[in-house]
């Protein structure tokens, strides 16, 4: 049987090429990962039209969740951080409640997973790095602050044409740029920017925890599913069980 330990479902933005390979890489033995695409209008991955795409994805969630729930996963993850920034704290919490009630399945968001990860690591002062434009980056900073975090450093990638064309090297660079001595951890937002290959490297170089939306959402999904599977090479978050 596929997923004999657990099945985890991910709701993926339509143009995102990163979530499937990164979640497949992180899946431990006996855990199967399954994907469904949310719907969105406009060009994928560009700064222009981001807010419109976020809102159209939110509108498609009910159907996307219903279909993914048919594989009987232990948990469904909304694999898009910026949607939470568009929603705001109260609307995000209501969305989670609605999806769980409709599907009968635990439902978590990428951003909610980041909060769980930072709490597990005992982090209150965070450096924040993004591939977004200035407006969405500020929305994310505000969202972190509203959840009680002290954002002590912010950096965003310059010259982004398409988030889904960004590289691991650039993710490393913006994470390093965001860091401040007083930051207890670095958080890289965005599930489309590839991050897994640089998490341990950046953490070793900075001497503090580094998490991304991608690493946090798989770590949290495994936690919710009751799977304990510590992993080397993806930062100290994946050593927490």
- The alpha-carbon radius of gyration of the chain (Å, integer) is 16
Q: Are 34 and 8 in contact (CB under 8 A)?
A: yes
Residues 130 and 204 in one domain: yes
The overall average pLDDT reported for the chain is 93
Q: Are 170 and 202 in contact (CB under 8 A)?
A: no
Residues 168 and 194 in one domain: yes
Number of domains in the chain: 2
Residues 106 and 165 in one domain: no
Mind listing the pLDDT tens digit for each residue in 18-48? Answer: 999 999 999 999 999 999 998 777 666 676 6
Largest CA distance in the chain: 48
Phi–psi pair at 95, nearest 5 degrees:
-60, -45
Tell me which residue has tokens 């798989």: 218
The confidence score (pLDDT) of residue 177 equals: 98
Task: For the chain, report the end-to-end CA distance as a whole number of angstroms.
Answer: 25
The confidence score (pLDDT) of residue 197 equals: 97
CATH number of the structural domain spanning residue 196? 3.40.50.12500
The confidence score (pLDDT) of residue 38 equals: 86
The confidence score (pLDDT) of residue 44 equals: 65
Mind listing the pLDDT tens digit for each residue in 164-201? Answer: 999 999 999 999 999 999 999 999 999 999 999 999 99
Query: What is the C-alpha separation between 24 and 18, in angstroms, rounded?
Result: 10
pLDDT band (50, 70, 90) for residue 123: very high
Residues 128 and 97 in one domain: no
Residues 118 and 179 in one domain: yes
Number of H helices, E strands in the chain: 9, 8
Residues 106 and 119 in one domain: no
pLDDT at 54 over 80: no
Residues 143 and 101 in one domain: no
- Cα 30 to Cα 21, 23, 73, 124, 222, distances in angstroms: 17, 14, 13, 34, 12
The confidence score (pLDDT) of residue 241 equals: 72
Q: Residue 55 belongs to what domain range?
A: 6-110
User: What sign for the dihedral angle of Cα 125, 130, 135, 140?
Assistant: negative
In a domain, 235, yes or no: no
Residues 120 and 105 in one domain: no
Last residue of a domain, one of 78, 110, 142: 110
Last residue of a domain, one of 53, 78, 110: 110
Last residue of a domain, one of 110, 128, 146: 110
The confidence score (pLDDT) of residue 68 equals: 96
Residues 88 and 178 in one domain: no
- CA 227 to centroid of chain Cα atoms: 19
């Amino acid at each position: 049987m596929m997923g004999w330990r657990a099945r985890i479902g991910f709701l993926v933005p339509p143009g995102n090429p990163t979530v499937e390979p990164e979640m497949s890489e992180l899946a431990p033995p006996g855990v199967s990962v399954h994907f469904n695409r949310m719907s969105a209008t406009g060009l994928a991955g560009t700064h222009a039209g981001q807010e419109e795409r976020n809102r159209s994805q939110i509108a498609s969630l009910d159907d996307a969740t219903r279909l993914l729930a048919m594989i009987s996963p232990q948990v469904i993850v909304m694999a898009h951080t910026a949607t939470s920034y568009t929603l705001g704290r109260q609307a995000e919490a209501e969305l989670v409640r609605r999806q769980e009630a409709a599907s009968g399945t635990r439902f978590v968001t990428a951003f909610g997973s980041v909060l769980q990860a930072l709490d597990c690591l005992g982090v209150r002062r965070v450096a924040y790095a993004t591939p977004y434009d200035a407006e969405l980056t500020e929305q994310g900073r505000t969202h972190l602050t509203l959840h009680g975090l002290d954002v002590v450093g912010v950096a965003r990638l310059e010259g982004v044409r398409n988030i889904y064309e960004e590289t691991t090297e650039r993710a490393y660079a913006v994470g390093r740029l965001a860091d401040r001595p007083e930051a207890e951890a670095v958080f890289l937002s965005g599930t489309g920017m590839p991050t897994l290959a640089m998490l341990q490297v950046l953490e070793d170089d900075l001497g503090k925890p580094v998490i991304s939306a991608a690493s946090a959402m798989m770590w949290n999904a495994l936690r919710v599913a009751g799977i304990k599977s510590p992993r080397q090479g993806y930062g100290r978050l994946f050593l927490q069980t």
